[in-house]
Amino acid sequence: MSDAANHPPYRDEMINPGTQPIEDAQEEHAVAALKVFLGEVRVRAAEMEQAPLKRREAEISGEPTRDPAADRDGRYGWDLRLSDGRVVRLLMPGVRVEAMRDDITAAAPCLYVNGTAWWWSDAVASVAAEGLALDRG
């Protein structure tokens, strides 16, 4: 009996939902989605700053810098510079924003923030939280 017959097929291939390569990705969609994304990051960052025991030490400064060398699997790379000199690497799927933001199923494509896959809302929160610190009073 072969090894394949001794274990179930799910052990052969594991796909994390939302992380599959995107077919027919278009950079124009990623550019448009980035504008919407950064607007939502600003709103979420302001909300997070109102939380008790939090203070902002750094924020996104300047315009995103496109980095084609970071592109992969239908996602387009940008660097978001923070005022303290750190850089957040964002990979934005090349699909319409609605396919990421409004689709709450596991089929929605993930964004990558510093190498970690997130669905839209969690990616917004992840970037918005960059530069926040506990205020120990």
Token duo for residue 135? 């205020």
Residue with tokens 């809302």: 121
Say what the alpha-carbon torsion angle 87, 133, 45, 93 is, to the nearest 10 degrees: 40
Instruction: Give me the phi and psi of 115, to 5 degrees please.
Output: 90, -5
Q: Is 7 exposed, middle or buried (0-12, 13-18, 19+ CB in 10 A)?
A: exposed
pLDDT per residue, tens digit, the chain (137 aa), is 445 556 555 555 556 889 999 999 999 999 999 999 999 999 999 999 888 888 899 999 999 999 999 999 999 999 999 999 999 999 999 999 999 999 989 889 999 999 999 999 999 999 999 999 987 76
Task: Tell me the residue range of the domain where 20 lies.
Answer: 3-134
Residues in the chain: 137
**Number of structural domains found in the chain:** 1
